[in-house]
Amino acid sequence: MTTSPRSTPEEEATLRAIVRGLVQGVGYRFFVLRVAGELGLRGTVRNRADGTVEVQARGEEGRLKRLLAALGEGPPSAQVAEVRVQWGVAIEPTENFDVTH
């Protein structure tokens, strides 16, 4: 279960999500990059050594919730088993949304 951030629509919020399932080698990071870009979010997405994908994002709360919904779907070739999210975490400041390693 996740709790919602406490921000007004005009305020920025942050989230960190760990996505488990078949999410590496299926275009998942580039799917996240596309969706986050369309939503005007800033942050990063990266593969982790344990086979999960980590997403850190900053932006308006409603847009982050739309990203979160997309994370649960993924691209057609992915099989998302679980998305764990933390709201209000400190993330690295970025100007865009980038794939990192």
Q: How far apart are CA 80 and CA 84, in angstroms?
A: 11
34, 46, 47, 66: the active-site residue: 47
Confirm whether 29 is a catalytic residue: yes
16, 29, 42, 63: the active-site residue: 29
Burial 42-61 (b: 16+ CB within 10 A, else e): bbbbebeeeebbbbbbbbbb
Q: How far apart are CA 61 and CA 39, in angstroms?
A: 11
Catalytic residues: 29, 47
